[in-house]
């Protein structure tokens, strides 16, 4: 790990190397009004979660749930690092999120759904409504699609209440859901269907985004075809209707396979399906994320450990109370939405706002209008969205009667300047800011301030979460002294209930990616020998607060979402004229990072302009709009090491207008000057911008 200006001779670029380093910011106490009402404002909680109390400390989270059978062993490390939490216990996630609230909260709204078109009225779903819908849809899954406990069901839906309903219906049956973010292309969905072995796809006819009707039916056709190419048949497609009241056919003629869900449910009204008690370690869901190789990883999360961690951290870090109106702007198709829209908040009987569309549609004030109208107390979003809202209308929040008491940021480092806008203009210094660091793999928050207890520090996530014991380790495995402010790789020394259990179908990749690097004894059953390698660079300052610098692997964090450079490169290489492709992260003032693509063409290739367009299309079709590069450059020659490896680090330095460092050891140092000249001619302010075949991209978090 090194400072951003240094350029070590490592051929692979790391984001931390180009991360922005901020100076230490002064700490700010949480507003007294907030502290007075906080769920946790007593420092004794730290004692309860001290290392000597591990792992039993996590009982406190599990006890927030209703168990069908109590567990006998809190943590089983027999097959470390494939840990088992709350062994012997059984429970049902849907029961915990819905049924158990009926006694006291039947008529309390679980969701207030706000459609994107402003003329369309909001829809309120009470806990009783949710109970009825989940039961009816579970009956449909079971009786018409043959779904049983342990089966995988892929869900590709926009931000509509039907998404949590579909997830909870799977959970009710003990089936494993795999939600694919609605913005992923049909091809990307198909690859995930095949990897998970899903025979059932739940989708919708369409939805609204940025004022446009998006056709999901066509996407579902592409997904099924892509899955088939990978050897997986989809036996049933279940189509929800975005406008159930409107007539017209939703299911295409392949009637045996396609079901019109709303029509079926009208016939099934009142169906009840008993919740299936599942072992704590039964998988609850898969969530695909990007890694170092092209193939996405299906992170497998457990029922008991995951749910316990989601509910415990929702209570402590989101500080949810029964009377709060909570709005998390993340898409449910990402882990943030799973843990902090669906499972954690519902297990606490929270009222959540669910919004279909883009935060700035039809104008930048939309977010503030919704928040003011619904009396949102607790807002949860990403730095990218905050930057976007700030840029679009810096004084917007002042024009509305906003009553926030708690504001979360997640997904990327937040610049202190942006943090201050969130705190001063959005929160009016009356709301606490909570910067939470975690990952798809971790299931819940791992670093954060406890909002009622700890001072805030702009640009730093905060200390380790309760029961989490991180360390910062150098590449040789030597721990950087705690609190020294020196950068290294962020690791977690201990297991925790929310951590993923494995990568679906690929336990070897689970071991290799996260544990082998720092493992002390390959057959050890002692968790102390298995530090978790998070893939992020970080520093820890003397007060114990962590500052996350960014990825140290081939992952680009775009608008708080992970994209693998290899995934994008393999999309580029699917275009026949492309000989070589290299993707590097480039700093972007709104999205944090965006990919930039360098291409070398095969000899005698056609018009480079046509290839650029074909590559842009390939990326959009194979991954989705979120992966759209900021620029695609056709270069005469890629800079390479003498062993023939493309020097992505050098390309990244060029893209980011940084010093390329020592290039004398390259096989072809002249290639660097040629690319530099190309960039200078085009001008860095307006790089070879990628034509947009489908309108502006959006942030989705």
Residues that bind ligand WT7 (CB under 6 A): 289, 335-336, 410-413, 435-440, 461, 535-536, 548, 550-551, 557, 560-562
CA 141 to mean position of chain CA atoms: 26
Sort strands 200-204 and 236-240 into parallel, antiparallel or unpaired: parallel
Is residue 593 within 8 Å of 558, Cβ to Cβ? yes
Cβ proximity to ligand WT7: between 90 and 178 the closer is 178
Cβ proximity to ligand WT7: between 112 and 627 the closer is 627
Cβ proximity to ligand WT7: between 151 and 435 the closer is 435
Cβ proximity to ligand WT7: between 109 and 550 the closer is 550
Is residue 271 within 8 Å of 142, Cβ to Cβ? no
Q: Please identify which residue in the block is written with the tokens 């004794």.
A: 44
Where are the strands (E) in 368-487, listed by range? 378-381, 406-410, 432-436, 470-473
* Rounded Cα gap, residues 478 and 480, in angstroms: 6
Q: Is the Cα torsion angle 52, 53, 58, 64 positive or negative in sign? A: negative
Cβ proximity to ligand WT7: between 357 and 413 the closer is 413
Where are the strands (E) in 88-193, listed by range? 90-91, 109-114, 123-126, 152-155, 176-179
Sort strands 532-540 and 546-551 into parallel, antiparallel or unpaired: antiparallel
In the bound complex, which residue of the shown chain has the CB atom lying closest to ligand WT7?
440
Shortest distance, position 26 Cβ to ligand WT7, whole Å:
19
Shortest distance, position 419 Cβ to ligand WT7, whole Å:
11
Cβ proximity to ligand WT7: between 92 and 448 the closer is 448
Cβ proximity to ligand WT7: between 275 and 305 the closer is 305
SS (H, E, C) 614-682: HHHHHHHHHCEHHHCCCEEEECCCCCECCCCCECHHHHHHHHCCCCCCCCCCCCCCHHHHHHHHHHHHH
* Rounded Cα gap, residues 242 and 630, in angstroms: 33
Whole-number Cα distances in Å, 540 to 309, 346, 454, 549? 24, 34, 16, 11
Cβ proximity to ligand WT7: between 90 and 289 the closer is 289
Cβ proximity to ligand WT7: between 90 and 461 the closer is 461
Is residue 69 within 8 Å of 62, Cβ to Cβ? no
Structure tokens at 221: 């056709």
Cβ proximity to ligand WT7: between 443 and 639 the closer is 443
Cβ proximity to ligand WT7: between 66 and 417 the closer is 417
Write out the H or E segment, with its range, that includes residue 571.
Answer: helix 565-573
Shortest distance, position 438 Cβ to ligand WT7, whole Å:
4
Rounded to 10 deg, the angle between the 127-145 and 261-268 helix axes is: 110
Write out the H or E segment, with its range, that includes residue 600.
Answer: strand 592-601
Shortest distance, position 510 Cβ to ligand WT7, whole Å:
15
Dump the DSSP string for 38-99. Answer: -S---THHHHHTSGGGTTGGGHHHHTTS--SB--SEEEE-TTTTS-EEEET-EE-HHHHHTG
Cβ proximity to ligand WT7: between 137 and 340 the closer is 340
Shortest distance, position 333 Cβ to ligand WT7, whole Å:
11
Shortest distance, position 334 Cβ to ligand WT7, whole Å:
6
Shortest distance, position 53 Cβ to ligand WT7, whole Å:
26
Shortest distance, position 551 Cβ to ligand WT7, whole Å:
5
Shortest distance, position 63 Cβ to ligand WT7, whole Å:
25
Shortest distance, position 468 Cβ to ligand WT7, whole Å:
14
Under DSSP, the state recorded for 340 is I
Shortest distance, position 447 Cβ to ligand WT7, whole Å:
7
Shortest distance, position 453 Cβ to ligand WT7, whole Å:
18
Cβ proximity to ligand WT7: between 92 and 382 the closer is 382
First to last CA, the chain: 29
Q: Is the Cα torsion angle 607, 612, 617, 618 positive or negative in sign? A: positive
Where are the strands (E) in 358-398, listed by range? 378-381
* Number of neighbouring beta carbons within 10 Å of residue 610: 12
Which string of b and e fits 270-282 if b means at least 16 CB within 10 Å? ebebebbbbbbbb
Is residue 367 within 8 Å of 404, Cβ to Cβ? no
Shortest distance, position 37 Cβ to ligand WT7, whole Å:
24
């Amino acid at each position: 790990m090194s400072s951003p200006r240094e350029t070590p001779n490592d051929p692979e670029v790391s984001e931390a190397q180009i991360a922005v380093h901020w100076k230490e910011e002064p700490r700010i106490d949480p507003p007294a009004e907030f502290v007075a009402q906080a769920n946790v404002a007593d420092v004794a909680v730290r004692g309860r979660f001290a290392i000597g109390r591990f792992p039993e400390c996590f009982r406190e989270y599990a006890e927030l749930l209703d168990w069908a059978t109590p567990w006998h062993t809190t943590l089983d490390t027999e097959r470390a690092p494939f840990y088992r939490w709350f062994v012997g216990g059984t429970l049902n996630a849907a029961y915990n999120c819905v049924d158990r609230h009926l006694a006291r909260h039947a008529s309390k709204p679980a969701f207030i759904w706000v459609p994107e078109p402003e003329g369309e009225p909001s829809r309120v779903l009470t806990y009783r409504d949710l109970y009825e819908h989940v039961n009816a849809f579970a009956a449909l899954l079971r009786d018409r699609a043959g779904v049983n406990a342990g089966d995988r069901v892929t869900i590709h839906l926009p931000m509509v209440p039907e998404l949590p309903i579909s997830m909870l219906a799977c959970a009710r049956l003990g089936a494993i859901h795999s939600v694919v973010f609605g913005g992923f292309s049909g091809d990307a969905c198909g690859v995930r269907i095949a990897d998970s072995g899903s025979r059932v796809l739940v989708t919708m006819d369409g939805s609204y985004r940025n004022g446009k009707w998006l056709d999901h039916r066509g996407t579902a056709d592409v997904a099924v075809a892509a899955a088939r190419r990978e050897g997986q048949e989809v036996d049933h497609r279940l189509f929800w209707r975005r406008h159930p009241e409107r007539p017209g056919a939703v299911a295409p003629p392949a009637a045996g396979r396609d079901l019109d869900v709303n029509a079926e449910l009208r016939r099934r009204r009142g169906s009840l399906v008993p919740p299936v008690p599942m072992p704590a370690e039964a998988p609850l869901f898969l969530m695909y994320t990007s890694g170092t190789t092209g193939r996405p990883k299906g992170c497998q999360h457990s029922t008991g450990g995951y749910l316990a961690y989601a509910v415990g951290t929702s209570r402590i870090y989101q500080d949810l109370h029964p009377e709060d109106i909570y709005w998390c702007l993340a898409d449910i198709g990402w882990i943030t939405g799973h843990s902090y829209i669906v499972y954690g908040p519902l297990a606490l009987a929270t009222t959540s706002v669910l919004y279909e569309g883009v935060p700035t549609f039809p104008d930048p004030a939309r977010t503030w209008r919704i928040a003011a109208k619904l009396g949102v107390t607790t807002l949860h979003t990403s730095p990218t969205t905050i930057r976007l809202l700030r840029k679009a209308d810096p004084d917007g929040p002042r024009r509305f009667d906003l009553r926030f008491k708690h504001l979360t940021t997640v997904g990327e480092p937040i610049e202190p300047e942006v943090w201050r806008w969130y705190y001063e203009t959005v929160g009016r210094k009356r709301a606490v800011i909570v910067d939470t660091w975690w990952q798809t793999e971790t299931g819940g928050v791992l670093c954060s301030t406890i909002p009622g207890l700890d001072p805030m520090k702009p640009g730093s996530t905060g200390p380790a979460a309760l029961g989490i014991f991180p360390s910062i380790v150098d590449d040789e495995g030597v721990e950087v002294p705690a609190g020294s402010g020196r950068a290294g790789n962020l690791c977690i020394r201990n297991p925790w209930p929310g951590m993923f259990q494995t990568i679906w179908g690929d336990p070897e990749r689970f071991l290799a990616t996260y544990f082998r690097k720092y493992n002390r004894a390959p057959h050890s059953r002692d968790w102390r020998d298995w530090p978790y390698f998070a893939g992020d660079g970080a520093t820890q300052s003397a007060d114990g607060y962590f500052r996350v610098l960014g990825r140290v692997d081939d992952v680009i964090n775009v608008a708080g979402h992970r994209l693998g450079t290899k995934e994008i490169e393999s999309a580029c290489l699917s275009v026949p004229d492309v000989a070589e492709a290299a993707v590097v992260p480039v700093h972007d003032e709104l999205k944090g990072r965006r990919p930039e693509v360098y291409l070398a063409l095969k000899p005698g290739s056609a018009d480079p302009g046509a290839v650029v367009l074909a590559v842009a299309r390939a990326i959009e079709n194979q991954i989705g709009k979120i992966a759209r590069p900021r620029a695609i450059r056709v270069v005469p020659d890629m800079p390479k090491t003498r062993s023939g490896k493309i020097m992505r680090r050098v390309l990244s330095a060029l893209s980011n207008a940084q010093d390329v460092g020592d290039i004398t050891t390259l096989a072809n140092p002249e290639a660097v000057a040629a690319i530099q000249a190309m960039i200078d001619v085009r001008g860095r302010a307006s790089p070879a911008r990628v034509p947009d075949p489908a309108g502006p991209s959006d942030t989705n978090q």
